[in-house]
Amino acid sequence: MDDKQKFRILSKLTTFERDGEINLESCIYLTSTPKGKVPILKVMQTTMCDRNCTYCVFRRDRDSTPRLYIPSEKLAKSFMDMYRSGMVRGLFLSSGIFGHPEFIMEKMIDTVKILRGKYAFNGYVHLKLMPGVSIQTVEEALKVANRVSINMETCKEERLKKIAKGKSILRDTLPKIETVDKLLPKYKGKSQITQMMVGVDGETDEEIISAIHFLNRRYKISRVYFSAFFPVKDTPLENRPPENPLREYRLYQLDFLIRDYGFDLEDIKSILVKGNLPLNKDPKEAWAQAHPDLFPVELNTADYNLLIRVPGIGIETAKEIIKRRRGKRLSSPQDLKGIRNIKKILNYTTLNGRYYGSKLSIYL
């Protein structure tokens, strides 16, 4: 097998490490960066792994996984060929863990150092931190990458022990996240994220939400990515049904409400049904419908913090509404011309005391 064939397989297998919109044909992802959406190549340094996580395509006992390794120099060159052709602008580099985690992490860092040094590549690089590496190695990764991440996988220590023996949220994941958090002020423009699976061990949305609320409150986490569980053949969980992708989507919406819109745990608990988010409603709309005492909101008088809780109103829309009402009192839908989601907004607001929406839709 030549290097190009190895590279294609190592890239293809990263479809199991999802954290963005994927083009399955080319394994090129659009991922969010500080400079917007960037097409990146996701690739593994190696698919060899000593770990035996029950859900993972790379687990030690899964004989059907191709076991490949590409040396740092060859991996860097292959990426640069794609970069120069205009196919990609950035790199996501992950790996299985073979031998001591420090060994493979050093190989990943070497790959990026070659890109930065030999090829003068100054674009986006995301490095996955291997469980069990030292604080010194974490900092070395942060020096060369734009973004680093270590997966939490699930929301509680006892759940992780059931699906990934040898991994620990309390002993490894959170300390690494805290280490990066403390280092970030030294490295302007860099960030960290984490990822959690959804539906891998029967966890409720309330458990997941409590975990992400803690992370967002305690650390500088740019994003929490969610990955709906899907069974992998030849693993212990191959017969478990896949999780509904809509659940993943609702958790993303919820995460934005916590991070950017000031929602707290008590707000979220008011819309949970048996510990889970309703799948048939946007979480923001579900919250609004659970609080008829607050709605409809008068657009001429509501402050910014209340405006951004109105379904259909985002941060920029709230600023635009405040700007417009400074010029004149808003009295009809015509005064909202050019604003997105007007129909939805009108269902939860009044203009100069008059309601223009459909009351029925608020309570559906």
Of 228, 151, 224, 144, whose CA–CA distance to 187 is shortest? 144
190 and 108, same structural domain?
yes
Instruction: Tell me whether residue 274 is in a domain.
Output: no
Domain identity same for 45 and 125 = yes
Gap between the Cα atoms of 172 and 133, Å rounded: 9
Residue 282 lies in a domain: no
Helix runs in 164-295, H state only: 174-183, 205-218, 245-260, 265-269, 283-289
Are 70 and 176 contained in the same domain?
A: yes
Output DSSP code: residue 362. Answer: H
Distance CA 65, CA 57 (A): 7
In a domain, 272, yes or no: no
Containing domain of residue 349, as a range? 292-362
The confidence score (pLDDT) of residue 226 equals 93
Q: What is the pLDDT of residues 77-118, one digit of tens each?
A: 989 998 999 889 999 999 999 889 999 999 999 999 999 999
pLDDT at 12: 57
- Residue 181 has a pLDDT of 96
**H or E element in which residue 197 lies:** strand 191-198
In this structure, the answer to whether residues 83 and 217 fall within a common structural domain is yes
Q: Based on the domain organization, do 30 and 98 belong to the same domain?
A: yes
Q: What is the model's pLDDT at position 7?
A: 58
**Is 128 a member of any domain?**
yes
On whether the CB atoms of residues 223 and 32 are closer than 8 A, the answer is yes
Among 240, 255, 284, where does a domain finish?
A: 240
Look up the CATH number of the domain holding residue 148: 3.20.20.70
Q: Are residues 310 and 202 in the same domain?
A: no
Residue 180 lies in a domain: yes
Query: What pLDDT does residue 120 have?
Result: 97
Q: In 13-100, which residue ranges form alpha helices assigned H by DSSP? A: 72-84
Cα 87 from Cα 79, distance rounded (Å): 10
**Residue 362 has what pLDDT?**
56
CA distance 250 to 111: 36
The verdict on residue 95 lying in a domain is: yes
My answer on whether 34 and 100 are in the same domain is: yes
Residues 47 and 174 in one domain: yes
Q: Is 268 inside a domain boundary? A: no
List the one residue out of 46, 73, 81, 71 whose CA is nearest residue 60: 46
Are 205 and 322 members of one domain? Answer: no
Ramachandran class of 355: left when φ > 0, alpha when ψ lies in -120 to 50, beta otherwise: beta
Both 313 and 232 in one domain: the answer is: no
- Report mean pLDDT in 10-residue bins for the chain, 364 residues: 60 50 54 74 90 92 89 93 90 91 96 98 95 94 96 93 92 95 94 94 94 91 91 93 95 92 91 95 94 94 96 96 94 94 95 86 51
What's the pTM value of the predicted model, to 2 decimals? 0.84
Separation between Cα atoms, residue 2 and residue 10, nearest integer Å: 12
Q: What pLDDT does 216 receive?
A: 87
- Summarised one tens digit per residue, pLDDT across range 214-237 is 998 899 899 899 999 999 999 999
Sequence-distant (≥ 6) Cβ neighbours of residue 336 within 8 angstroms: 299, 321, 324, 330, 342, 345, 351
Residues 64 and 140 in one domain: yes
Our count of domains for the chain comes to 2
Bridge partners, residue 21, by sequence: 30
Query: What does the pLDDT read at residue 315?
Result: 95
Q: Is residue 305 part of a domain?
A: yes
Contact 124, 91 (CB under 8 A): yes
**213 shares its domain with 118:** yes
Confidence at residue 336, expressed as pLDDT on a 0 to 100 scale: 94
